Amino acid sequence: MAEIEVKDLCKEFTTYVRGHGLAGSVGSLLSRNRTVRKAVNHVGFIVEKGEMVGYVGPNGAGKSTTIKMLTGILYPTSGTVRVCGLCPSKDRKHNLMHIGTVFGQRTQLWWDLPLIESLELLRYIYKVSTKSYKENIERFCDILDIDEFMQTPVRQLSLGQRMRGDLAAALLHDPDILYLDEPTIGLDVVAKERIRLFIAELNRERKTTVVLTTHDLTDIGTLCRRIIIIDTGRIIYDGPVEEIRKRFGSESSLLVVFKEEPRGLSLQDAEEIVVDGLQARIRFDRRRIAASDLIGALLKEYPVSDLTIEDTSLERIIREIYLEGKLDAGLS
């Protein structure tokens, strides 16, 4: 049985519009105009045990609303959600025992208590055995380096330290599923890499299922093999990350350093050539010419001291899908 099953899921939000001025306010008491917005529109997917899935989309696409229905915070307007065989909105207590959540903008730790006391409280809430608690704390201290600030009140922690503390709190009870909503937002490069390595190891060793929503697509490219893209409440792609790269990331750049200034640099299959002294950026489409063939043609004509191939980033691919009409190219 799949760990997460979502079928024909919808969530609507109703807002009431009040008229302007005194007359509008009085009129609203008698008859209110309302608007209905579909935040999630007939969404369906399955996540198997041990998968790491990226769930991405622009602001307002429906990512966080979907996650809130998976965790039981929101009730669906229609459709069904099953998590570990449970309906999250109807069986919240049992569902919480199977899941861990980390929301980058919010914390589940007690603001004025030292981190260790927050973890102790969560231990009793989740009824974690003494043996499991000690083993997990040792593991978190070893991998996340949280021992150095265990006695520090949460309000005094840096953002990176608090995120590591939140990860420890979310995983204290050994959940089957971990929901991560912007887990690396605002973190420096070192803190991001530490958290990515921890999540990858957790998935590899314990087969914890991970659903990751983020605007930092380096997180997706590093951790996930599968990506679900949602836009205006609808899923427009569900499949391998590599397939997205192949279909929409065919453009690459060849960064070249020449031994002498390349006068009249020209290559037949290059899309664009930008020369700056001894350096040049040559943009090409891998569907038209292989990188090896382009490099071969270059080396025949010009003396080269160094060269590097730079592929299109996943972030740029997703941005172009949204902004430059690549949805019309048959993504879904």
* pLDDT, tens digit (0-9, with 9 covering 90-100), for 70-111: 999 999 999 999 999 999 999 988 999 999 999 877 888 999
Query: Same domain for 304 and 212?
Result: no
Q: List 103's β-bridge partners, or say none.
A: 181
Name, of 15-24, 224-233, 259-268, the range with top average pLDDT. Answer: 224-233
Query: Same domain for 141 and 281?
Result: no
pLDDT at 308 over 90: no
pLDDT given at position 21: 64
Percent of the chain whose pLDDT exceeds 90? 45
Query: Same domain for 261 and 231?
Result: no
Distances (CA, A) of 188 to 141, 217, 246, 320: 20, 15, 30, 26
Give the residue from 200, 217, 245 where a domain finishes. 245
pLDDT at 170 over 70: yes
Please, which contacts does 57-63 make with residues 24 or more away whose CB atoms are closer than 8 Å? 57/229, 57/230, 57/231, 58/231, 58/322, 61/230, 61/231, 61/232, 61/233, 62/11, 62/230, 62/232, 62/233, 62/234, 63/181, 63/213, 63/230
Query: Same domain for 162 and 295?
Result: no
Query: Same domain for 170 and 129?
Result: yes
pLDDT digits (tens, 9 = 90+) for 15-50: 776 666 666 566 666 666 778 889 999 999 999 999
Residue 182 domain boundaries:
4-245
CATH of the domain at 40: 3.40.50.300
- Tell me if 270 is assigned to some domain: yes
- Tell me if 323 is assigned to some domain: no
pLDDT given at position 131: 95
- Tell me if 321 is assigned to some domain: no
Which pair of structure tokens corresponds to residue 83? 């998590």
Phi-psi region of 216 (alpha: psi -120 to 50; beta: other; left: phi over 0): beta
Query: Same domain for 52 and 24?
Result: yes
Query: Same domain for 17 and 124?
Result: yes
Query: Same domain for 146 and 17?
Result: yes
Hey, what amino acid is at 292? S
- Mean of the pLDDT values across residues 110-132? 94
Query: Same domain for 125 and 170?
Result: yes
Q: How many domains does the chain have?
A: 2
- Tell me if 196 is assigned to some domain: yes
Query: Same domain for 172 and 254?
Result: no
pLDDT at 261 over 70: yes
- Tell me if 65 is assigned to some domain: yes
Which pair of structure tokens corresponds to residue 139? 């593991």
| pTM of structure | 0.79
The answer to whether 1 and 26 have CB atoms below 8 angstroms apart is no
Taken in order 211, 213, 214, 220, is the CA torsion positive or negative? Answer: positive
Query: Same domain for 268 and 175?
Result: no
- Mean of the pLDDT values across residues 113-141? 94
- Tell me if 330 is assigned to some domain: no
Query: Of residues 25 and 137, which shows the higher confidence score?
Result: 137
Name, of 55-64, 169-178, 225-234, 274-283, the range with top average pLDDT. Answer: 169-178
Q: Which among 11, 39, 45, 5 has a CA at the least distance from the CA of 226? A: 45
Beta strands 226-231; 52-56: pairing state? parallel
Q: Which residue has the tokens 């350093």?
A: 257
pLDDT at 332 over 50: no
